[in-house]
Homo-oligomer: A and B are copies of this chain.
């Protein structure tokens, strides 16, 4: 190492200490860029272990791997320990998601699982955030405590590996088979038990299902349970193993997602604790925002009715059918939205099926509208008069068709703009359909009654 290099490292260390104390991670990252791998190794040794951890986390993936391998084993351990520390993780937790993309690269597959090992589920979620795995990604929920085997190992050698990991591994029933950390196969303990002890793993392993670490946790969990897999290997962008998702964790993820979906469908923010142990003010808070949004939306209906007030004053009888007509529209819209939302969640349809869904919902809505409209015409006609019956009947046909179409398309639109379809919840659709239904009603009334 030349004196010049040493001086540049020493200057870099001073700059970086200052930048970190100012929480200027972007500046620190820029200051690191011109340094060579040996210079970074030197730098890491000169900084406090917390600052070293921050510096390390700012390195691009390829450099991070080279640096890690050049460190002494002791420093490696200290570094992993420091990366886990609350001060360090919370610093990275605050990074804006947009900055995260260019500031934090994936960590090498040799470091990432080490970092997550031995943590509780909560600590793991927090620490996985620092690894750059997005919110709701399977990277936040996977376990790093896996046992692997190699294609050229024998069954007997693999059993020895399993025995050594019995106390720590999340599961020993499904083993990813890796070569240079890349997942090349999967083998179950059951396969191993029925195989010859001297057989090579390459001859007993099967093709693996894998998940990418940035995939949505719910999607991966559903795939795990749909295929009835006991565990699914999770890989990084280079197909290197970084974790494993077991079926019991998958079931836990799905349970939580179902609770959240059910809550949002009803226009409530999901509760964190059980109903009876949630304080009243939290219950109120979980509902009030949506209720306000919906009430503001509902002022649309006041404006529509205000615009038609003259018509209403002339024919008060028209007011009688308002709740029935908009209620039926809301129900039809909800039915369509419920069916489509569920199909989306199960992966039966995707946003580009929008034309198919629209054409089906128009036909379903028209059928329902014709059925209800005929009934409405007959009953309203008999009880009031035939002109009124005609208005009610025609409105039901039109409202059902429009409501089913809107209800069917809304969840697809939500998914297309990357919003949870359940957020365009049933109350939301009801409010939207209400105003539309009123306009249709009064336009038909004016046309038929000539007012």
Contact = CB atoms under 8 A, between A and B. Distances in A.
Interface residues of A, number: 101
Contacts of A363: 280
B323 A326 contact: yes
A272 interface: no
A262 interface: yes
Nearest to A431: B327
Contact of A316 (B173, B258, B309, B353): B309
A126 to B, nearest CB: 22
A437 to B, nearest CB: 9
Given A251-B247, A372-B295, A360 B283 contact: yes
Contacts of A324: 295, 298-299, 301-302
A230 B360 CA distance: 41
A327 B251 contact: no
A387 interface: no
A281 to B, nearest CB: 8
A327 B248 CA distance: 41
Contacts of A426: 265-266, 334, 426
A263 to B, nearest CB: 6
B319 A322 contact: yes
B327 A298 contact: yes
A276 B189 contact: no
A284 B225 contact: no
A36 interface: no
A332 B287 contact: yes
A342 interface: yes
Contacts of A339: 263, 266, 268, 271, 275, 283, 286
A331 interface: yes
Contacts of A271: 339
Given A283-B364, A287-B368, A322-B322, A193 B230 contact: no
A180 interface: no
A111 B188 CA distance: 31
Interface in A137-155: none
A417 interface: no
A162 interface: yes
A267 interface: yes
Nearest 9 A-B pairs (CB), nearest first? A266-B338, A225-B251, A228-B248, A301-B323, A275-B343, A274-B348, A319-B319, A298-B324, A305-B320
25 contacts: A163-B194, A166-B193, A167-B194, A173-B173, A173-B190, A225-B251, A228-B252, A254-B255, A259-B342, A274-B349, A275-B339, A286-B339, A287-B332, A287-B335, A287-B364, A290-B331, A290-B335, A292-B375, A295-B324, A298-B328, A305-B320, A305-B322, A309-B316, A327-B434, A334-B427
Given A230-B230, A250-B251, A254-B254, 7 more contacts: A166-B190, A166-B193, A262-B262, A265-B266, A265-B338, A267-B334, A284-B367
